[in-house]
Structure 1
């Protein structure tokens, strides 16, 4: 079968690879679409600490059940996606109800071969059926949407909260879309990419290019110098870390959604004097993932606009060149695994 294989730093190849073998408790899934994640970009660059070549990429997928064991709750022809986290079951978080932050958390497509392939055998207990009426392309967004569901839960978001989203990458845009559909009173989103900010304006967000506009001044003006209820930091950049407390009101919440790969300065005196709450958000629970699948239907019109390109698996070795080309204005790229 064909698969997109990470072959080493800055090198991927579409290869003919052996089809994976059947195993007990697993279902054979014919892959339809698989999304490209920021973590895949990190793998491609050679900077991911766990991913080792050769590795089939991909963990944001939708497929069709092709073979299911007797007594399975899934039938041949069911459209499915899967919770891709792999927990050890033995560490403190795993034994105390939070296996999604396992101390040795692994992930499909990072620690084991992933889903950018013709087929994959997937453990039945992590599969989630996709309801009828949700398109296959839309279903490939279930995993990143689950990340966003988690971050709203972690931030304790409430209807009519005023929010800033820092960073208009796929997770930032999805965060803002979910805020819109959850009743946020005000959504300010920042970035430096004019193409992504133009898309954000289509959604009705207050989109700010921080190359041209001081975000702190903009937020102060928009909130009568109060600040917003919640800041979702989705950019992972150093300058954002120093700004988060300035954007947040007294008693407000800062949710660190983007991963900062190095220590960055934060104004901790603001955190004290303004009695702010800062909380981290990493991935998602199994329940949040499962709940995100039917949620796709409620936001379909907006979510479909996030899918900027679809590339056939046979040409997917070009996918990272597409990401690096600013003229293509990529947001979320899907791989058509049957093309």
Structure 2
């Protein structure tokens, strides 16, 4: 079968690899689409601490069941499915206390074992979710990043009519703003330095700030009368956002760390003291939140479709990371078509 294989830093190849063998309780899934994630970009760059070559990439995938070994009867050949990709140990403190999504040795399909940028994969039946008939394959491929966003709103304790800022207009930032819009935020400001991405955000009706040209702290100060916003969703992972997030959150406001910073950052902890702010982390999602996102994708389908900016065939996907890095391409969310 064909698969996009990470073979070393800055190296991926479309290879012919053996079709994996399944075991009892697994379904053989014929892949349809797989999203390219920021984590995949980090793996390609050789910066992910766990991903080891050779590795079939991809954890944001949708496919159709072809075969089930000793199944429970919940799925049948032809069912379209997405997979909760987290792999927990079941024994550590988080796992024992109902938090396996932050397992001490958490692993993921497509990072710690072969993933979905391939013709086929065998997936444990108990992590599969049926895709509603009304949801396209392309939209279903966004369920996993959508689950990241659902988790972050839960972590931030979002309330109806909250005022919000989203720092970073990458896929997760844009999805965060979309979910905020549908959840009843009274204002949504999203910041970035990429004017093309900010242009997409304006199409959704979001306020935008190009922080390469305008101070976000000044903008929020002026627009809120110096009060700040209820919740800041930090989705950029960059140093400037970390330095400014306490400045733009109000007294008693919440800062949700949705994006993962790859190194320590300077944060004004005095602001957090004086303004009694809440700083909360958000890593991935629970099994329940992933299931919620499968259903929620149907409601958001029209907006989610606009986030998909490019689709590339699996057969030509060896250049996908170069394409994403090209500023002239204006990529937001890229899908690999696993049947092309």
TM range (shorter): over 0.9
Which is further off, 70-79 or 273-282?
Answer: 70-79
Residue 38 (structure 1) aligned with residue 38 (structure 2) = yes
Alignment of 1:173-322 (within 5 A): 173-322=174-323
Provide the rounded CA distance (Å) in 2 between the counterparts of 1:68 and 1:131.
20
Aligned-pair CA distance for 1:220: 1.0
The equivalent residue for 1:68 is: 68
Map 1:118-137 → 2, pairs under 5 A: 118-137=119-138
Residue 17 of structure 1, CA deviation: 0.1
Match of 2:51 in 1: 51
Q: Is 1:106 aligned to residue 107 of structure 2? A: yes
Which whole-Å CA distance do the structure 2 matches of 1:83 and 1:256 have between them? 22
Cα shift readout 1:63-112 (whole Å, capped 9, x = no counterpart): 00101235431011111000000000010000000000000000000000
TM-score of the pair, normalised by structure 2: 0.99
Question: Secondary structure in 2 aligned to 1:262?
Answer: coil
| Separation in 2, partners of 1:81, 1:45 | 27
Q: Which residue of 2 aligns with 1:81?
A: 82
- Following superposition, the deviation at residue 224 of structure 1 comes to 1.3
CA contact (8 A) 2:162 2:231 kept: yes
* CA shift digits 1:36-86 (9 cap, x unpaired): 000000000011110000000000000001012354310111110000000
How many pairs does the alignment contain? 339
Q: Within 1, Cα distance between the matches of 2:200 and 2:233?
A: 19
CA RMSD of aligned residues (A): 0.6
Cα deviations by residue, 1:309-335 (Å, 9 ceiling, x for unpaired):
000000000100111111110000000
Local SS of the residue matching 1:327: coil
Consecutive unaligned residues of structure 2, counting only runs of 5 or more, are: none
- By how many angstroms is 1:294 displaced? 1.1
Unaligned runs of 5+ in 1: none
Q: 2:56 touches 2:117 (CA, 8 Å); kept in 1?
A: yes
How many Å apart are 1:288 and its aligned residue? 0.1
Match of 1:13 in 2: 13
SS at the partner of 1:187?
strand
In structure 1, distance between residues paired with 2:282 and 2:263: 16
Conserved in 1, the CA contact under 8 Å of 2:25 and 2:68? no
Query: Conserved in 1, the CA contact under 8 Å of 2:23 and 2:69?
Result: no
Deviations 1:14-33 (A, max 9, x none): 00000000211100000000
Shift of 1:337: 0.3
TM-score, normalised to structure 1, is 0.99
Query: Secondary structure of the equivalent of 1:131?
Result: coil
Q: Is the 8 A contact 2:22 2:69 kept in 1?
A: no
Q: What is the deviation of 1:222?
A: 1.2
